């Protein structure tokens, strides 16, 4: 089991190295950073000085090693556009994105599993069928359309909820939270619904089909033959077996919520990492782009690791054991 987790960890580190390499390569191939940073009238000498200060004169592999070394310490250099440390920019934006993503993930998981189980148990019920049909919309509609639709209904027509920004936030150390003020909470509703909806429908459909599959298994039939009440069969015997395959896909999906956040943050002018990245792309602000890439990869790797650990918790077969001789 320890070996299993270690292997998973090693894989994660490898993935991070590859992504870091890609991120780093951007420095060479995307635009000329110096031209972006200094004005038209800067002298050749100024430019040369700047190149040296940015470490652009060193050999390529050397630069990569330095990049990794700095990245591990959270140092991604200076933003070309804002001339401030990238880590400061990221740290300012991180709470907005994390709060949005975590709440969306929570919403998608809780509602997705709940509705999926309901749709599986009430397989032919009217409500279950309605839920399934609506979920088809969720799977096929692009996120930005859902966001715009929600804004139209709840912000423009009904005027219940704000359509952009985080509202008022409260600072706790370097972290800023929107969870403690009314306007902050209100501002979260629409972005969370928008970002979570796609994952919700996906998780729900997955849970439903897996659960229906499990309900056909022999051990369910045997549990019925033992006279176990149907509720216990559904929630004790079937659900846990359902969650094992669901955890993988749902886990990775939740990781991708961070990536999907770019669209939602743009639609709602959410001051998070996603909109920071979009701006960075517009200005070829390579250090910010690189940092963002590494950040997203880290989130995926962590999710993957959590998935693997959850597996071990859920499935005793992975914990290893002895077999009694015949």
Binding residues vs another protein (CB under 8 A)? 217-219, 221-230, 232, 236-237, 240-241, 244, 314-317, 321-326
Q: Which of 243, 215, 224, 227 is nearest to 122 (CA)?
A: 215
Nearer to another protein, 75 or 315 (CB): 315
Nearer to another protein, 92 or 315 (CB): 315
What is the nearest approach in angstroms of another protein to the Cβ of residue 116?
18
What is the nearest approach in angstroms of another protein to the Cβ of residue 233?
10
DSSP 27-76: HHHSS-HHHHHS-TT--HHHHHHHHHHTTTTS-HHHHHHHHHHHHHTT--
For residue 316, the tally of other CB atoms under 10 A from its CB is 9
DSSP 73-134: TT---B-TTT-SBHHHHHHHHHHHHHHHHHHHHHHHHHHHHHHHHHHHHTTT-HHHHHHHHH
Q: Are 141 and 156 in contact (CB under 8 A)?
A: no
What is the nearest approach in angstroms of another protein to the Cβ of residue 215?
11
Q: How far apart are CA 268 and CA 277, in angstroms?
A: 15
- Cα 120 to Cα 111, 202, 221, 280, 314, distances in angstroms: 14, 14, 16, 45, 21
Beta bridge partners, 176, equal 171
Q: Are 171 and 291 in contact (CB under 8 A)?
A: no
Nearer to another protein, 96 or 215 (CB): 215
What is the nearest approach in angstroms of another protein to the Cβ of residue 206?
19
What is the nearest approach in angstroms of another protein to the Cβ of residue 121?
15
Nearer to another protein, 238 or 261 (CB): 238
Nearer to another protein, 159 or 226 (CB): 226
Nearer to another protein, 69 or 320 (CB): 320
Nearer to another protein, 96 or 223 (CB): 223
Q: How far apart are CA 66 and CA 60, in angstroms?
A: 10
What is the nearest approach in angstroms of another protein to the Cβ of residue 169?
43
Strand pairing class (170-172; 175-177): antiparallel
What is the nearest approach in angstroms of another protein to the Cβ of residue 115?
23
What is the nearest approach in angstroms of another protein to the Cβ of residue 113?
17
Q: Which two tokens stand for residue 168?
A: 């008022």
Q: Which of 30, 92, 16, 17 is nearest to 289 (CA)?
A: 30
């Amino acid at each position: 089991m320890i070996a299993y987790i270690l292997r998973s960890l090693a894989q994660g580190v490898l993935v991070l190295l590859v992504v870091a390499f890609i991120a780093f390569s951007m420095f060479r191939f995307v635009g000329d950073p110096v031209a972006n940073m200094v004005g038209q009238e800067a002298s050749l000498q100024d430019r040369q000085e700047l190149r040296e200060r940015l470490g652009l004169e060193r050999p390529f592999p050397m630069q990569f090693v330095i990049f990794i070394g700095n990245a591990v310490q959270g140092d991604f250099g200076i933003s070309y556009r804002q001339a401030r440390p990238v880590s400061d920019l990221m740290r300012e934006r991180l709470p907005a994105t994390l709060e949005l993503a975590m709440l969306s993930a929570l919403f998608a998981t809780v509602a997705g599993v709940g509705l999926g189980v309901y749709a599986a148990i009430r397989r032919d019920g009217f409500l279950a069928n309605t839920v399934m049909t609506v979920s088809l919309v969720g799977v096929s509609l692009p996120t930005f359309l859902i966001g715009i639709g929600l804004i139209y209904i709840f912000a423009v027509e009904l005027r219940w909820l704000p359509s952009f920004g985080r509202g008022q936030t409260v600072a706790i150390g370097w972290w800023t939270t929107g969870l403690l003020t009314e306007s902050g909470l209100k501002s979260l509703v629409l972005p969370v619904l928008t970002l979570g909806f796609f994952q919700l429908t996906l998780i729900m459909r997955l849970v439903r089909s897996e659960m229906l599959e499990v309900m056909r298994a022999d051990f369910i039939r045997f549990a019925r033959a033992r006279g176990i009440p149907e509720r216990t069969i559904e929630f004790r015997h079937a659900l846990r077996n359902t969650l094992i395959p669901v955890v993988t896909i749902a886990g990775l999906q939740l990781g991708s919520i961070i990536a999907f956040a770019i669209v939602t943050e743009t639609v709602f002018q959410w001051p998070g990492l996603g909109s920071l990245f979009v701006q960075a792309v517009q200005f070829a602000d390579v250090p910010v782009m690189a940092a963002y890439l590494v950040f997203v990869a880290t989130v995926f790797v962590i999710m993957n690791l959590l998935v693997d650990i959850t597996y071990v918790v859920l499935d005793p077969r992975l914990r290893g054991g002895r077999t009694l001789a015949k």
